[in-house]
Amino acid sequence: MEEETTMLQIKDALVSLDVVERFFLCDLDKCLGECCIEGDAGAPITEEEMATLLEQPSGAEPKSVRDKAMLELLYATGIKVSELIELNLSDVNSQIGIIHMRHSRKERIVPLYPAAVKALTNYMINVRPAIVMDEDSDNLFTN
């Protein structure tokens, strides 16, 4: 249920973009038993559409910075949303640009490209400390 809540919040924040609906939200709608765009689920998107998607969360508002970091990580790594929300602070090494994925019984090291490292570092230093409710929480992304 926690995963659905987080994904719904992402959907609400970005629902105006057709590209987001095609690229990102269709899996959410399948999980909820709905169809987001009939006949278009999983359609590939263009480089221009991807650039538009990555530019959407702009500004210095905490949620915009958080959303930018989340989208950059999803794009940079190809991880699933369920893997994204399971990430902990201890899984991130921004100095060398990697995340340590621990999902189910599998573990892997995933490299990040510079824009993802920049967005993630900005979030971790400037935003996360201000929005985290439980100071003892190791969750990377919080609401």
Segment 44-80, tens digit of pLDDT: 778 888 788 778 778 788 988 999 999 899 888 888 8
Residue among 16, 25, 22 at smallest CA distance from 42: 22
Gap between the Cα atoms of 64 and 71, Å rounded: 10
Residue among 86, 83, 112, 85 at smallest CA distance from 99: 112
**Mean local confidence (pLDDT), 29-58:** 63
pTM of the model: 0.66
Query: Is 45 exposed, middle or buried, given 0-12, 13-18 or 19+ CB atoms closer than 10 A?
Result: middle
pLDDT at 102: 84
pLDDT digits (tens, 9 = 90+) for 114-133: 999 999 999 999 999 998 88
Q: Which residues pair with 139 in a beta bridge?
A: 88
